[in-house]
């Protein structure tokens, strides 16, 4: 895993998430936490519990009222400096998860774009309008970051 740690561009992501442990230890247990960042290959989150490396997980993340379910496997679990939390890395299981991650990343970028316009022009904007405008302006540039 060490060689692909920086294979994908990472994007900050500060949204609450639920991680359901599917296999093998603590099967069915749900852990509440917060995402740190996401890339096409996986997700990093902070949690107050240790999760065993190799566990299969399902992650539920809600971004702008859209729920994303991502399947992955824990590849790293390290105690943070404060010794009360863990930094947990998940690698996605399949190309389908890659597509979901791209959609999530796009939703995050659209939300950031919307927020930036709202601050600049001191207006409240609809996410749908912001999405259409972002796609018009930036989707071509966004797509070039991926080899599909």
Report whether pLDDT(67) > 90: no
The HSE-up count of residue 13 (CA atoms within 13 Å, CB side) is 31
- pLDDT attached to residue 26: 62
Which tokens sit at 77? 């679990």
- What are the CA-CA distances from residue 47 to residues 44, 73, 95, 143 (Å)? 10, 15, 26, 32
- The alpha carbon dihedral of 119, 127, 63, 90 has a sign of negative
Per-residue pLDDT at 143 exceeds 90: no
Is residue 76 classed as helix, strand or coil in its secondary structure? strand
**Tens of pLDDT along 85-113?**
999 999 998 877 777 777 777 888 888 89
Is 69's pLDDT higher than 60? yes
pLDDT of the residue at 102? 76
CA distances (Å), origin 43, targets 13, 48, 119, 127 = 9, 16, 29, 24
Interval 19-66: pLDDT, tens: 999 977 666 689 999 899 888 788 999 999 899 999 999 999 887 777
- Per-residue pLDDT, averaged over 64-87, amounts to 88
The torsion angles phi and psi of 121, rounded to 5 degrees, stand at -105, 0
Q: Please report the domains of the chain, with CATH numbers, ordered by start residue.
A: 2-94 (2.40.10.220), 101-143 (no CATH)
Do residues 57 and 100 make contact, with C-beta atoms less than 8 angstroms apart? no
Task: Report the Cα–Cα distance between both ends of the chain, in Å, rounded.
Answer: 22
Q: What is the pTM of this model?
A: 0.73
User: Residue with structure tokens 């729920």?
Assistant: 67
Q: Residue 43: how many CB atoms within 10 A of its CB?
A: 26
């Amino acid at each position: 895993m060490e060689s692909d740690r920086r294979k994908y561009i990472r994007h900050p992501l500060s949204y609450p998430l639920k991680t359901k442990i599917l296999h093998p230890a603590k099967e069915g247990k749900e852990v509440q936490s917060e995402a740190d960042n996401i890339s096409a290959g996986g997700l990093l989150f902070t949690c107050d519990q240790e999760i065993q490396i190799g566990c299969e997980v399902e992650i539920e993340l809600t971004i702008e009222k859209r729920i994303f379910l991502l399947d992955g496997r824990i590849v790293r679990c390290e105690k943070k400096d404060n010794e009360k939390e863990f930094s947990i890395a998940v690698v996605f299981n399949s190309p389908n998860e890659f597509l979901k991650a791209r959609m999530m990343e796009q939703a995050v970028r659209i939300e950031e774009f919307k927020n930036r316009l709202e601050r600049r022009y001191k207006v409240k904007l609809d996410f749908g309008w912001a999405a259409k405008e972002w796609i018009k302006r930036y989707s071509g540039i966004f797509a070039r970051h991926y080899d599909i």
